[in-house]
C-alpha cells in the first residue's frame, strides 16, 4: 500500500523538483542584479511617494490672491496654484483665469462646478490651517476644548452572519466593551438600581483627552490600522475601511507576479511541444500539473508568510502565531483560485497575448470580488463574503469563526479545485499542441467529465453552482453604475443567461459530440436531470453560504426567485426549452435557444420581483 502511495507521489515530486530547479536557473546573474536594482528603485520611489501623501491633484485649482499673507495658508494644500496679483488684475481674472479670487476677506467664485469644488477644497484647507495653528499653542483646554470619545457596543444585529454574534477579543477592545457586551437590558436595570452604570462603563481602558500638546500630537499620529477612539470634532472621522484595499494589494501583488511565471511555465510546455516528451513518459497528466503547480504555490505562500510577518510582527506569542497561521489559511484558497485561473488560461489560450489578457481579466475580476466586500469590513456583515475581510479582522487582532471561514473561502476552494480538474482533463496532446478553438477545448472538458462513469448532467449542474454564484456577485459590482431599476433588470437577465448556459452545456456536449442518441426521450430526461441538479445545488449552496446575505438587499436581488423561491419547475423548463429545441432542429441552434430560455427565465424573475421594481 505504501509502495503505491510512494509511486504515486514520486511522479509529481520529480516534476516539482525539476520545475523548481529549472525555473531557478532562469534567474541568471544578470536578471538577479537587474531584479534587485529595480526592486530597490521601486522601494525608494514608493517611500518617497508615501512621504508626499500620494496626491496626483497638484495645481488643479487656480487661485488669485490680493493679500500675500494668505499665500502660505493656501500653500499647505498642493491642489492650489496660487497667484498673488493686485486688485484690478484680480477682478479681471475672476471667472476666466482663476477659479477662486480672494480679495480679502471675500472669496469670489465662478458659477461652475470647478469653482464650487475649489471652494469646498478651500474650506477644508482653511480648517486644516486653523487646526494646525491652534495645535501650535500649548493650551489644549482652550484650543481644543471639545473631545469626543467613541465606544462601540454590541447589540443584537438585525442581520447576522450564520448564527450568534461575533465574540470580540478582550485584549484589543478595552474592558468597557466587554462589560457592555455581556449586559442585557435587565442587567443594566439591575445595575442601575445600585448606582449609575455610566461610571462603571466609563472606567476601564477608555482613552482620556490629552493634557499637553505632545499627547495631542501622539493621538493625531494614530496608526492607520487602528480604529479611532478619541478625537476632536474636527478630526472625528467615520470608520472608512480603506486599509482593506492596502492589505489586499500587499497580499495580492505577490500572487500576481508568481502566477505570471507559473502561466509562462505552463505555456512554455505548450510552445515548441516541450511537454510532449513528458507526456509519453509513464506519468499521468495530473502528476505533471501537480508537479508544475506545487513549487509555485509554495513560493507564493512563503512570500505571503513574509508579508504576514511584516504586518503582524514576528510570531512570539501563541496569539500571533495563531492569527498568522489563520491568515495563511485564508490566503491559501485565494492563491489556489488565482493559480487555477492562470492554469486554465495557459491551457486554453492560443498565444501569449491571449494569455496575458485572459490573466489580467481574471485577476481584475477576482481582485474586484476580494476588494469590494472587504471595503465594508467593520461596517456591514455582508463583507464576510470576501476572504479579505477575514484577513482585515485577523490583522486587527480579532478572532474568526470556522463558519465564517467556510462561508467566505468555500467558493474559492470549490471553483479553484474544479477548474484544476477540468484543466487536467484536457492536459493531453490533442488539446495542448493544437490550435483548437477555445470553445472546443471547453467542450472537451465537459465531454471527458461526462464520459466518466460518475459524470452526469445532474452532477455537472451542481459543480457549476459556485461558478454561477461568484459570477453573479461580480455582476452586482459591474452593474452598480446603471440607474436603479435598469441595473436590477439587466442583472436579472444576465443572471438568467449564466444559469441557462451552465445548465444546458452538458446536454449540448452530449448531442454535439454524439455521446447519446438525440431522441425525444433522451432530451427530456437529460433536461429533467440537469434542471434538478441545478436546483439541488442551489439549495445546497443556500444551506451552506447564502443564509447570511439572503436577507440583505443585494442578497434578495441575487437570490430572490432564482436561488430561493423559484421552484424546481422553472429550472427544468429552461433547460427543457434548450434541450428539446436542439432535438427538434439541431445542436447548432444551441445559443439562440439558450437566449430564448434566458429571456423566459428572466421574465419569470421580473414577474416575481415586480413589486420591488415597479411597485
Partner 1 sequence: MAKQKSNMTLSPRIVMLIAKKEYRVVMHERTFILSVLIQLFIASFSTFLVIGLTSFYDPTALGELDMGSTKIAVVGNVDNDSELYLLLQNSDLAPILYGEFSDAYTAFYDRRVDAILIIPDEPPGGYEILDIDIYLPRSDLKATLVSLQLKEPLEKFEQSVRDIRTKRISGYTPLDLNIVERKTKTSSTYFEFLYVALLPLLVFTPAFISGGLVVDFITEEFERKTIDLLLVSPISLLDVISGKVLLATIIAPVQALAWVLLLMMNGIVIHNVVTILLLVLVTAMILVLVSGIISVMFKERGMAQLFYSLILIFLFMISYLFTNSPMNLVTRLSIQSIGGLETVIWLGGYSLLAVVLYGGLLKVVEGE
Q: How many CB atoms lie within 10 A of CB 218?
A: 11
C-alpha cell at 463: 459543480
- Report the nearest approach of partner 1 to the CB of residue 250 (Å): 13
- Closer CB to partner 1, 10 or 218, in the complex: 218
**Quick count: other Cβ atoms within 10 Å of Cβ 202?**
12
Least Å distance, CB 26 to partner 1, is: 7
Distance CA 410, CA 404 (A): 10
The nearest distance, CB 152 to partner 1, in angstroms, is 4
CA separation for the pair 188, 491 (Å, rounded): 47
Q: Is the peptide bond before 22 cis (omega within 30 degrees of 0)?
A: no
Identity of the residue, 490 or 608, whose beta carbon is nearer to partner 1 in the bound complex: 490
Q: How far is the CB of 463 from partner 1 (least distance, A)?
A: 25
Least CB distance from residue 177 to partner 1, whole Å? 8
Q: Cα dist. 554→478, 498, 534 in Å?
A: 13, 18, 21
Query: What is the smallest separation between the CB atom of 433 and partner 1, expressed in angstroms?
Result: 12
Shorter beta-carbon distance to partner 1: residue 236 or 310: 236
Q: Which is nearer to partner 1, 241 or 423 (CB)?
A: 241
Give whichever of 121 and 501 is closer to partner 1, judged by the CB atom. 121
> Of the candidates 541, 475, 462, 447, which has an alpha carbon nearest to the alpha carbon of residue 502?
462
- DSSP annotation of 83 reads E
Nearest distance in Å: CB 57, partner 1: 4
On whether the CB atoms of residues 358 and 213 are closer than 8 A, the answer is no
- The alpha-carbon radius of gyration of the chain (Å, integer) is 30
Give 225-230 contacts, CB < 8 A, sequence gap 24+.
Answer: 225/395, 225/396, 227/378, 227/396, 228/150, 229/149, 229/150, 229/151, 230/147, 230/148, 230/149, 230/150
Report how far residue 308's alpha carbon sits from residue 531's, in angstroms, rounded to the nearest whole number: 44
**Residue whose entry in the numeric block shows the C-alpha cell 470608520:** 239
Q: How far is the CB of 353 from partner 1 (least distance, A)?
A: 4
Give, in order, the Cα–Cα distances in Å from 518 to each of 208, 513, 531. Answer: 78, 11, 18
**C-alpha 14: how far from its chain's center?**
35
Comparison of 27 and 607: residue with beta carbon closer to partner 1? 27
Cβ closest to partner 1, residue 43 vs residue 515: 43
Residue with smaller CB distance to partner 1, 359 or 582: 359
Taking the least distance from each CB to partner 1, the nearer of 366 and 450 is 366
| CB 461 to partner 1: min, Å | 26
Q: Which is nearer to partner 1, 263 or 545 (CB)?
A: 263
Helix runs in 385-456, H state only: 387-395, 402-425, 429-432, 438-451
Q: Kindly tell me which of 54 and 224 has the beta carbon lying closer to partner 1.
A: 54
Closest distance between partner 1 and the C-beta of residue 234, in Å? 6
Nearer to partner 1, 154 or 319 (CB): 154
Q: State the minimum distance, in angstroms, from the CB of residue 67 to partner 1.
A: 10
Query: Of the two residues 156 and 453, which places its CB atom closer to partner 1 in the complex?
Result: 156
Instruction: Give the C-alpha distances (Å, rounded to integers) separating 73 from 68, 114, 143.
Output: 10, 20, 19
Instruction: Determine the Cα–Cα distance for residues 402 and 62; give it in Å rounded to an integer.
Output: 55
Q: How far apart are CA 602 and CA 278, in angstroms?
A: 48
Nearest to 286 by CA among 464, 454, 441, 417: 417
Q: For residue 282, give the 3-state DSSP assignment.
A: coil
Q: What is the nearest approach in angstroms of partner 1 to the Cβ of residue 421?
A: 25
**CA-to-CA separations, 539 to 409, 493, 567, in angstroms, rounded:** 18, 21, 11
CA angle 306, 252, 475 (to 5 degrees): 155
- Quick one: 42 or 565, whose CB is closer to partner 1? 42
Find, among 386, 396, 264, 266, the residue nearest to 334 by Cα.
386
| Closest distance of CB 205 from partner 1, Å | 14
* DSSP result, 181-211: HH--HHHHHHHHHHS-HHHHHHSSS-----S
CA gap 207, 550 in Å, rounded: 39
- In the complex, minimum distance from the CB of residue 385 to partner 1, in angstroms, rounded to a whole number: 15
Amino acid at each position: 500500500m505504501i509502495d503505491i502511495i510512494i509511486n504515486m507521489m514520486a511522479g509529481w515530486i520529480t516534476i516539482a523538483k525539476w520545475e523548481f530547479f529549472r525555473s531557478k536557473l532562469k534567474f541568471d546573474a544578470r536578471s538577479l542584479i537587474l531584479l534587485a536594482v529595480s526592486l530597490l528603485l521601486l522601494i525608494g520611489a514608493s517611500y518617497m511617494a508615501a512621504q508626499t501623501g500620494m496626491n496626483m491633484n497638484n495645481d488643479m485649482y487656480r487661485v488669485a490672491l490680493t493679500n500675500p499673507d494668505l499665500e502660505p495658508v493656501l500653500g499647505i494644500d498642493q491642489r492650489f496654484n496660487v497667484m498673488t496679483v493686485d486688485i484690478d488684475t484680480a477682478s479681471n481674472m475672476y471667472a476666466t483665469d482663476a477659479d477662486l479670487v480672494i480679495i480679502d476677506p471675500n472669496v469670489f467664485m465662478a458659477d461652475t462646478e470647478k469653482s464650487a469644488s475649489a471652494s469646498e477644497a478651500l474650506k477644508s484647507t482653511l480648517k486644516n490651517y486653523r487646526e494646525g495653528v491652534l495645535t501650535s499653542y500649548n493650551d489644549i483646554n482652550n484650543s481644543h476644548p471639545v473631545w469626543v470619545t467613541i465606544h462601540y457596543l454590541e447589540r443584537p444585529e438585525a442581520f447576522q452572519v450564520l448564527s450568534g454574534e461575533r465574540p470580540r477579543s478582550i485584549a484589543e477592545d478595552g474592558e468597557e466593551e466587554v462589560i457592555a457586551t455581556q449586559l442585557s437590558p435587565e442587567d443594566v436595570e439591575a445595575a442601575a438600581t445600585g448606582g449609575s452604570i455610566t461610571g462603571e462603563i466609563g472606567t476601564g481602558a477608555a482613552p482620556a483627552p490629552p493634557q499637553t500638546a505632545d499627547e495631542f500630537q501622539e493621538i493625531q499620529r494614530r496608526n492607520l490600522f487602528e480604529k479611532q477612539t478619541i478625537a476632536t470634532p474636527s478630526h472625528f472621522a467615520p470608520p472608512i475601511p480603506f486599509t482593506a484595499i492596502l492589505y489586499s494589494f500587499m497580499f495580492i501583488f505577490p500572487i500576481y507576479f508568481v502566477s505570471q511565471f507559473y502561466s509562462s511555465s505552463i505555456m512554455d510546455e505548450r510552445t515548441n511541444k516541450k511537454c510532449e516528451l513528458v507526456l509519453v513518459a509513464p506519468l499521468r497528466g495530473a502528476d505533471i500539473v501537480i508537479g508544475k503547480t506545487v513549487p509555485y504555490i509554495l513560493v507564493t505562500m512563503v512570500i505571503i508568510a513574509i508579508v504576514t510577518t511584516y504586518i503582524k510582527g514576528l510570531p512570539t506569542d501563541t496569539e500571533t502565531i495563531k492569527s498568522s497561521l489563520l491568515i495563511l489559511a485564508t490566503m491559501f484558497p485565494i492563491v489556489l483560485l488565482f493559480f487555477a485561473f492562470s492554469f486554465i488560461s495557459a491551457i486554453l489560450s492560443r498565444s501569449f497575448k491571449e494569455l496575458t489578457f485572459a490573466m489580467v481579466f481574471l485577476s481584475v475580476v477576482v481582485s474586484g470580488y476580494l476588494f469590494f466586500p472587504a471595503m465594508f469590513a467593520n461596517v456591514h456583515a455582508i463583507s464576510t463574503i470576501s476572504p479579505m475581510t477575514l484577513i482585515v479582522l485577523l490583522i486587527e487582532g480579532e478572532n474568526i469563526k470556522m463558519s465564517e471561514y467556510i462561508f467566505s473561502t468555500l467558493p474559492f476552494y470549490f471553483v479553484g479545485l474544479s477548474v484544476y480538474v477540468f484543466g487536467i482533463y484536457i492536459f493531453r496532446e490533442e488539446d495542448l499542441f493544437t490550435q483548437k478553438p477555445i470553445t472546443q477545448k471547453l467542450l472537451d472538458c465537459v465531454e471527458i467529465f461526462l464520459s466518466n462513469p460518475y459524470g452526469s448532467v445532474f452532477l455537472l449542474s451542481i459543480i457549476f453552482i459556485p461558478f454561477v454564484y461568484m459570477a453573479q456577485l461580480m455582476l452586482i459590482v459591474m452593474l452598480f453604475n446603471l440607474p436603479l431599476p435598469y441595473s436590477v433588470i439587466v442583472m436579472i437577465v444576465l443572471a438568467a443567461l449564466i444559469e441557462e448556459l451552465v445548465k444546458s452545456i452538458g446536454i449540448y456536449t452530449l448531442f454535439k459530440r454524439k455521446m447519446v442518441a438525440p431522441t425525444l426521450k433522451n432530451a427530456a430526461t437529460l433536461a429533467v436531470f440537469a434542471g434538478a441538479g441545478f436546483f439541488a445545488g442551489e439549495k445546497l449552496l443556500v444551506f451552506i453560504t447564502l443564509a447570511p446575505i439572503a436577507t440583505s438587499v443585494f442578497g434578495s436581488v441575487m437570490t430572490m426567485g432564482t436561488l430561493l423561491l423559484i421552484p424546481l419547475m422553472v429550472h427544468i423548463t429552461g433547460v427543457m426549452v434548450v434541450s428539446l429545441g436542439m432535438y427538434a432542429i439541431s445542436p447548432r441552434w444551441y445559443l439562440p435557444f439558450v437566449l430564448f430560455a434566458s429571456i423566459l427565465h428572466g421574465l419569470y424573475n421580473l414577474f416575481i420581483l415586480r413589486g420591488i421594481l415597479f411597485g
